[in-house]
Structures are given as structure tokens and as C-alpha cells.
Amino acid sequence: MNDLVPIVVAGIAQGVPIFVVASGLTLIYGVLHVLNFAHGGFFLIGALIVTTTLQGPSLAAFGLSVLLAGVGVMLIGVVSEVAVFRPLYKAGSTVSFLGAFALFLALVGIALLIWGTNPRTVAYPEALNGSFDVGGARVGQYDLALVAVGGVIAAGLYLLLTRTSLGTRVRAVSHDRTMALALGIRVQRVSTSIFAIGAFLAGVAGALIAPVSSIDESLALSSDYMLPAFIVIIVGGLGSVPGALIAALALGVLESALFRVAPSLSGFSYYLVVALFLMFRPQGIFGSPSRSTQMAR
Amino acid sequence: MTTIGRRFPVVTRSGVHVLIGFAVVAVLMPVFFGGSPLFTWTTAAVWVLFAMSTSVLFGWTGLLSFGQAAFFGIGAYTMALIHENRPETPGLVMLLAAALVAAVVAAVFALFALRTSGAEFAILTLVLAQVLWLLTYRVSWLKGEDGFHGLFSVNIISNPLTSDLDLWYYTIAVVGFCVWLLWLLHRSTAGMAMRAVRDDPWRSAALGINVRRVQVCAFAVSAALSAVAGALLAQGQGVVSPGMLSFAISGEILVACLIGGMSRFGGPILGAIVLIWSQTLISNLLHDSSMFVGLLLLVIVIALPQGLVSLPGRVRNRRRASGPPSIPPAPTGSLADESVPDGSPVSAGDEEALR
């Protein structure tokens, strides 16, 4: 028990930023059918904005810069959707994916130009710097805060998707784009909105990990956050937000447990899990078997 | 190329013009360049091979791989490990071993990863490269960040290369040979099957092509030649480090292919040369070239999705479209000309398809 609590909390805390990034990715995939590779760039820029805007150690200042990072990245996301993805939509998903890749390179390059190559760090907000004593085990306050934030974001997304008219339209478009168009849904506007939300989440996730990680351009494709996010949406099933949530938290806990039990294996758990899923359930937890996965069998 | 092909079908069938082209370049380049520009050309030659091998997968078979660095790195590390344990092994044998190791790894990986397709498949290839990159740090005999040094002293057959000029001749000879092999593959029925699988896997399957086998073979061929390129680069630079497995490499080689365009055989060759030289020139002026590479790629993907090789065709079409409507010259056995009785422009892609 004493060992279990910190493992689970640390695992969930690690899974939360991954889930926040992955939920945006999976939403964008559901609506636009593009795996938005540029998300790594959004994530990196979110973290970098915090290094610039954060003034002082107070919790309010930190919260404000997290929001600023989210909004700033959201603007970049909207501009890139209109400028890059809209013209490419007709050309098919491979070309869009390459467009996303080009955007990724350009965003990372621009970030390097603005913030330089030196790694940056951000201090923990003062109020969250300590640790709690839970049943004799020490649990970091920041980790607990991450768990709470993750809960809020998951609940917010759930309400957004099920209780608002935008959410209904998003689900309609990702279910059947042509039918949604025929019913008079402005699909382009839904695409832009979902891209804005996804980018906002990526910016927030980047901002949230700023105190935990050293921030340089390798963050855009780091094996701690971005690659697991891509793996999580494959394991959870492309387009499924609940799948992304379950996969992110489960994999976070697994990774954190492995780190304690068998440190030499840590870092590999994501890759092992995705390999197992591909062997036995290529469509992921909640995905439906697509034409291509059916063919593969 | 096509005009030569029409007049002398034997030339294109046997790919003699590819060999002659590389021989001419090999002889002429040292006349005009020396010192560090010649070394840049040597690097560019390695990237030409790497880009061509990536194009086998991406351009011919339609499989997008974000982890080509995995095979590039496997080649370099295989060579380094053989050199450490048996330094007297001839370099050409090392190249063969590198190709073989990479081909086996690629085939096994492909059998798993091909259960997905499209973007998911691309992510899996990326994961493969990252796992290998992580392994170089975790496995002690791969030496982590330190890597391997002293690969200059690899024997080619019995003696090591002694000068930059020797390195150039050796590199261009290996690259030319490999590209020639690819040309033969491109013209063969296997190459045709790859393009059929790219264009429509379902129809190819209905026509009796074993889609899975074609894809796995394409993956193995691509990996083998990428490994040769990696080993050549390791030998030229003398150093092997985890950087050769990094995503930057996988990304850049895709950029090279896309800049050149993969609708024609020579596209990736052009792309690799443009990429290496623009990177060299830009980084002489500025600290970092990655933003320009990204922006260049963005412009190409949006404005010129067929790559630089499609530029002449586009210009021609635009001129034809804006000029007075004229009947095209009498066809010389080409289907493309017959299909446009009203003189309307044919896009480069259509022409390619009809040939």
C-alpha cells in the first residue's frame, strides 16, 4: 500500500499531460481525418510561452501563464488550420499528414529562432512545491494538482462533446462527414473550432509540464510526452476521447510502476504495449475495425 | 530520358544510362570541386542513395515511413560493430552485412506494423526508430552518446581510403551501383507491382498480386539500401553516434524526397542534392536551417505537391494554356499526345500515368 499510492499518483500525473495532448489529437483526427503531427510543435510552444510569461512564484501567476499559453497556441492552431489544412483537405489524408509534418518542422524552427537552443526551466509554483503525506508515503503536490487538472479537463471535454451544440456537431461530422454536410452543418467551421480546441489543449499540456521538464526543442517529439501521446491514440482507438483517457492513465501508471520495479525496462512500456495491441487488436480499445485493418487480418 | 528510351529501348531496359551518368559525374566533379565542397558532394551522394531507398517505400509502394533513420542507423552501427570486433573485414563485406541486418529487421517489423496503414503505420515506424535510439543508450556495448570512432580505417578490400578524393570515388561508385539496381527494380514486374499496390491495394489484390508480400519486400529493399547509405556516411565521417537514429534524419530524408518529387525516378536524387546544398549554404549564413527547411517543405506541399521535378511540366502546361490554342505536333507513339485532341493541357501526373 505504501508503495502503491505514490506509484499510482505519479503514474496518473505522468498520464495527464499525455491525455491532454492526445485528446486534442484524437478529436482532430475524428473530424479532419488528419493525424496532426504539428501537435508536437504546439506542445513545445506552449511550454516555451510559459518560460516567457511566468512572473513570480505565485499560483495565480502560473495559472495565468498556463491560460496564456493555451490561448496563444490556439491562435497559432487556427491560423495553421486555415492556411495549411484547409487548402490540403481535398488532396487526401497523406498530403494533409505531410502538410502537418512540414508545419511541425516550421513551428519548431520558428520556436528555435525566437527562444534559442539553450534548455530552459521553470520553477514550481510556490504553493505546489512540497509533498503530502498519504498513508506514510510521500506524494508530490504538483502531481496531485496535475491529477485534479486532468479530471477537470476530462469532465470539461465530456460536457463539451455531449451537452453543447458544438459537441453534437463535432460528433456528427466525425461520424459521417458527408451526411453532416447534407444536413447543413458548416463542416469547415466545425473543423476550425475543433482545431482551435485541440491546439488550446496542446498549449495547456505544454505549459503544465513546464515545471517538471527541461524545455528545449527535443520536447516537440520527446519520448516522455509526444510519442506516448501518439501511441495512446492508437491504443485508445483513433478518434475516441475516452479511449485516449483510459490508455493515457493506464500507460502512465504502468510506466511509473516499471520505473520502480524494473528501471532498465522503463521507457519501453509504451512501445511494448503498442506492439501487443497491434498484434491482437489493431483498431485499439474503442476503435472500430477500419477497411485497412480488416484487410490486414 | 524518355526520348533516349524511345530510340534505344535497350539502354533504358539495362539502365546503362544510369551507370554512364554516375560515371560522368564521378569523373567531372573533382575537376570543378575540391576540399570541402567535394566533401559536401560526397555527403550529398550518400543522401541521394538514402533518398532513393526511401522513395522505394514512400514513392513507389505508397507506404509512409517516419522512421527511415532506424535503418540508416542500423547500417552505421552494424559497420561500427563489425569494425570493432573484426577490423580486418573488407568494407564491401561490411556494407553487405549492414544491408542484410537491416533487411531482416525491416521485414520482421513490417509483418507487425502492416496490420495498420496510413498515418498509424507512419507513427509505428517512428516508434521503431525511437526504440532503437533509446537502445543505444541502454545497451552498454552500443556505447550511448560516445558512439564509435575511427571508422576511417575501414579497409575497402585490403587498404583503407586515404584521401577525400578516394572517398568520393568509392562513395559515388557504391551509390551509382545501388541506384542502378533500383532502376532495374523500377523497370521490373516487381516494381510495377509496387506501383499497383500504391495506386489501389484492393484492385491489385483482386488482380492476384500478393499485396502484403510486395509491401514487406519493398520495406526490406528500402531498409537494406538505407543501411548501405548509413554505413557509407559512417565511413566518410568516421563517427557513429545515436544522432544517426534521430528523428531529424528521418524527417530530413522525407523532405528530400518531397522537395524532389517522387513521380519520376530521378526526383529524390534532385531533392537530396538540393536539400544538402541548401542546408550547407544556409548554415554558413545562419545558425540554424531547420525553419527554412520546414517553410520550404510547406510551400512545396501546398503549391507544388509533385515536387521540383514537376516544375518543367507545369511551366510548359501554363504556357500552352495561355498561348493561342494550337494542335499539338503529331504523336510519336506516345499515348499522352493522342489523348488530347482539343489541345487542352494534360497535367504532369496524367502524362506520367499514360506513359
Could you report the per-residue pLDDT of A117-148, keeping only the tens digit for each? 888 888 888 878 777 777 667 778 888 889 99
Tens-place pLDDT, residues B252-299: 898 889 888 887 888 999 999 998 888 888 877 766 667 777 888 888
Q: Do B118 and A94 lie within an 8 Å CB cutoff?
A: yes
- Phi then psi for A71, rounded to 5 degrees? -70, -40
Angle at B291 between CA B290 and CA B296, to 5 degrees: 100
- The per-residue pLDDT for B340 is 35
Of A109, A117, A278, the CB nearest to B116: A278
Q: Give the best residue of A29, A35, A85, A105 to mutate against chain B (max B CB count within 10 A).
A: A105
Least confident piece of the model among A129-133, A212-216, B111-115:
A129-133
B154 touches chain A (CB under 8 A): no
Mean pLDDT of A272-289: 79
The pLDDT value recorded for residue B45 is 93
Between chains, do A282 and B301 touch, taking CB under 8 Å as contact? no
SS3 A119: coil
Angle (CA) B117-B121-B125 rounded to 5° is: 160
ipTM of the complex: 0.78
CB A208 within 8 A of CB A62: no
Residues of A in contact with B291 (CB under 8 A): 105-106, 108-110, 112-113
pLDDT digits (tens, 9 = 90+) for B191-232: 999 999 999 999 999 999 999 999 999 999 999 999 999 999
Residue numbers of A between 51 and 110 with CB closer than 8 Å to B: 84, 87-88, 91, 93-95, 97-99, 101-110
The answer to whether B98 touches B170, Cβ cutoff 8 Å, is no
pLDDT of A82 reads 92
**B126–A234 C-beta distance less than 8 A:** no
Task: Report the gap between the CA of A58 and the closest CA in chain B (Å).
Answer: 35
Closest chain A residue by Cα to residue B205 = A295
Domain ranges of chain A: 4-222
Q: Which fold has domain B16-268?
A: ABC transporter involved in vitamin B12 uptake, BtuC (1.10.3470)
Q: What is the mean pLDDT of residues B101-127?
A: 87
Average pLDDT over residues A55-67: 89
Task: Considering only the beta carbons, identify the residue of B247, B297, B301 that sits closest to A95.
Answer: B301
| Mean pLDDT, range A26-36, rounded to an integer | 87
**A-contacting residues in B 286-345 (Cβ below 8 Å):** 288, 290-295, 297-298, 300-302, 305
Lowest mean pLDDT among A122-136, A146-160, B97-111: A122-136
Residues 6+ apart with CB under 8 A from B286: none
Mean pLDDT for B108-135 is 85
> What pLDDT is recorded for position B165?
85
Nearest by Cα to B237 from B51, B43, B69, B73: B43
Q: What is the pLDDT of residue B3?
A: 60
Q: Which three cell numbers stand for residue A87?
A: 487548402
Lowest mean pLDDT among A136-140, A148-152, A288-292: A288-292
Least confident range from A93-97, A212-216, B228-232: namely A93-97
What are the structural domain ranges in chain B?
16-268, 324-354
pLDDT (average), residues A202-224: 87
pLDDT for the residue numbered B324: 52
What is the average pLDDT value for chain A, to the nearest integer? 86
Residue A60 pLDDT > 60, yes or no?
A: yes
> Given this model, what pLDDT does residue B355 score?
35
B160 touches chain A (CB under 8 A): no
Residues 195-254 of A with CB under 8 A from B: 221, 223, 227, 230-231, 234, 238
Give the model confidence (pLDDT) of A162-211 as tens digits. Answer: 999 999 999 898 888 889 999 999 999 999 999 999 999 999 999 999 98
Instruction: Indicate whether A23 pLDDT > 90.
Output: yes
- Render pLDDT for A224-239 as a digit per residue (tens, 0 to 9): 888 899 999 989 988 8
Q: What is the pLDDT of residue B100?
A: 95
> Of A88, A113, A227, which has the smallest distance from its Cβ to B127's Cβ?
A227
Decide if A280 touches B, using CB distance below 8 A: no
SS3 of A266, please? coil
Higher confidence at residue A92 or residue B352? A92
B54-96 confidence digits (pLDDT tens): 999 988 998 888 889 999 999 999 999 998 888 888 888 999 9
In sequence order, what are the residues at sequence separation of 6 or more whose Cβ sits closer than 8 angstroms to the Cβ of residue A219?
A40, A43, A44, A47, A206, A213, A225, A226
Of the listed ranges A218-222, B98-102, B154-158, the one predicted with least confidence: B154-158
Between A99, A268, A282, which is nearest B116 by CB?
A282
Asked if B225 and B72 count as a contact pair (C-beta separation under 8 A), the reply is no
Across-strand partners of A138? A133
Radius of gyration of chain A (CA): 19
Separation CA A281–CA A142 (nearest Å)? 35
Largest separation between any pair of C-alpha atoms in chain A: 60
Residue A114 pLDDT > 60: yes
DSSP B29-62: HHHH--HHHHHHHHHHHHHHHHHHHHHIIIIIS-
Cβ distance B302 to A105 less than 8 Å, yes or no, reads no
pLDDT level of residue A153 (50, 70, 90 thresholds)? very high
Nearest chain A Cα distance for residue B81, angstroms: 23
Q: Which of A97, A104, A274 sits opposite B127 (nearest CB)?
A: A274
pLDDT classification of A292: cutoffs 50, 70, 90: very low
B134 vs A contacts (CB less than 8 Å): 223, 267-268
Say what the pLDDT of residue A4 is: 81
B297/A292 Cβ within 8 A: no
Cell of A102: 512540414
Give every CB contact of residue A153 below 8 A, 6+ residues apart in sequence: A16, A19, A20, A23, A201, A204
Binary contact (A105, B297; C-beta < 8 A): yes
* Percent residues over pLDDT 90 in chain A: 39
pLDDT in tens, B295-339: 888 888 888 877 888 888 888 887 777 655 444 444 443 333 333
- Please name the residue of chain B whose CA is at the shortest distance from the CA of residue A220: B247
